[in-house]
């Protein structure tokens, strides 16, 4: 019985899978570091508000917040125009 020889196509697929996995892990590591830094900044902000270092600003009029600032294309502008 002859042992199976790996062909060039399968070797290339295996190499590209390993290479992509390494890049994916590096990207995940980078995102994890950014996530930890963001979480640390948010904790500092919360502590600053709790200790009074930062204060909320009280406006002379009522404020209505429409939707999520980062979500585009959801029809916020026509809704605000209708309210105004």
Residue 28 confidence (pLDDT): 85
d(CA 10, CA 26): 24
Q: Measured between alpha carbons, how far is residue 6 from residues 12, 16, 33 in Å? A: 10, 15, 39
Structure tokens at 9: 């196509």
pLDDT at position 13 over 90:
no
pLDDT bin (cut points 50, 70, 90) of residue 12 is low
pLDDT tens-digit map of 20-56: 677 778 888 899 999 999 999 999 999 999 999 999 8
Cβ atoms of 83 and 64 within 8 Å: the answer is: yes
Using DSSP, state whether 49 is helix, strand or coil: helix
């Amino acid at each position: 019985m002859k042992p199976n020889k790996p062909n060039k196509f399968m070797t290339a697929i295996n190499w590209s899978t390993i290479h992509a996995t390494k890049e994916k892990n590096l990207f995940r590591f980078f995102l994890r570091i950014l996530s930890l830094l963001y979480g640390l900044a948010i904790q500092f902000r919360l502590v600053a508000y709790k200790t009074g270092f930062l204060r909320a600003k009280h406006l002379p009029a009522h404020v209505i917040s429409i939707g999520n600032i980062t979500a585009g294309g959801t029809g916020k502008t026509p809704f605000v125009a209708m309210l105004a």
